Chains A and B, each alone.
Chain A
Amino acid sequence: MNTRNKVAHGFGRLSVNVTLGILVIMWLLPTFMLVVSSFRPVGDMMSSGWWSAFMHPERFTLGNYQLVLTSKGIGTSFINSLIITIPSTILPILLGALAAFPLAFSKFPGRKGFFITLIAMQIVPLQVVLIPVLLLLMGLNLNGTFPGVWLTHTAFGLPLCIYIFRNFFAQMPYSLIEAARIDGANNLQIFFRLLVPMAKPAFASMAIFQFLWVWNDMLVALFVLNNSALNPVTVKLSSLLGSLDAGWEIMTPAALLSMLLPVTIFLLFQKYYVRGILAGSVKG
């Protein structure tokens, strides 16, 4: 790091700071705009820019937030998002880790084929599979229900989860597992007592990855849920904006609140999230 820092000095260092500063402001500005606007009365929002709000700090209000949680079913959509996201995060991680164990440690026939399928399925665009998935769920009477969405997200999340866990397990010292076997531990014991505690970083990465992905998802919700009473906050925001059904006094705090949870989780566990990204793939 220090050597790298030495590369820029004097005038170079100043221009680097200024350029990066401008870029950072550009990236921060839209979110900052949203934060400021969400605390302004709607009359002000429609007549003057958010930057002029600081001239009348006494006009800032919490009124928009009181309004948003009680109107247009936005409060419900937040609860829906949670109901959708929590099982859709836990299930693929659990089933993925379970499947990754034999994939990492046993040489069973069909292993290679399964692995290639996993890689291929990470890249298949969801648009390609969503209609047959919808038809399948219709056949099971699960379309437009939470369990239907849980199953869909679990299935879509599995290839990446298995892939990441398998790679993580495969890096673990095999001698440790051998030793546990000699001590008489069975596979289940090895999995739960040895691997799960050691693979905590991988679990953290995948949990954050999957949580953010499902929380921010709109496509799966639109295709297989498509039920206005159960819609998550992404679909709600989108339909409010599309129909111009709600004013900016509702849109701005609703958008900000929808960002609060993922951004907080992201900032708290950034290390694990980045590790998940670096581990290789991005899902379709």
Chain B
Amino acid sequence: MDSEYFFELLCGGLVKGSIYALIALGYTMVYGIIQLINFAHGEIYMIGAFVAFIVSGVLTLTGYGGPTVLLLAAVIAIIYAAAYGYTLEKIAYRPLRAAPRLSPLISAIGASIFLTNYVQLAQTPDFLPFPELITDFDFMEPFSRYVSSVDLVILVVTTLTMIALTVLIKYTRVGKAMRATQQDAVMARLVGINVDRVISATFIIGSALAAIAGVLIASRTGQINSAIGFMAGIKAFTAAVLGGIGNIPGAVLGGLVLGIAETLGAGYISSAYEDVFAFGLLVLILVLRPAGLLGKAVKQKV
């Protein structure tokens, strides 16, 4: 139980948590705008990983390799996942916009099952080896005990992505429209915001983030299959609730807390109970702070 071991676990948890955070952002953004838990979000992540797998496979066959392939695979995965997210909302959620809240939730679960089985039938139910596209950096050699080169790439990419997302939400026109819609959808329409388009944009952005997470995690674990979306989706959903669903910084915090707690629990107690720590933490937070860690930060006078 030396401090070095602790630090090692902490780094591992941070890497895991940042991936959870990336997926959790999609949950929380969608929830913030249409109060829907998009249970098919994990499948979008899985599809992102699959597209990256196919693209990198094809490119490797043609003789390319390394970071260029990764970048290209990631870009195409993002475009595909965004298209899936956009279509998912149009087909599964938009027709149920005026329906009771339970209906789109059931539709979400249906979409999730459909997408898992669709990939399973169209591709394979087996685990597929994801190519090693991130080669070890020489300068990482002394730190490799704590953070591998892949982990470094994950941390850098997730940090940059989150900064980009913050800028997008804070300063761009679509970002302001998203915030306005989240805070008051009727008023958003009254100032001329096309709420349908904002909802589409939210699904596109959330799906793109999930695809990035999919490519990163596949590069780390080295294998994918059609069922990886389920657990990742549930974990990221837990992270979003942990941080306060609908709250964007909360999703990031929730992801990191979840990742670290899980890794520490697995490292010090038993790795067999990894998931127990994750969901136990969720129960604990929901009992002590039902709105989540950062839920309801700003009070509103009436």
* Real binding pair: no
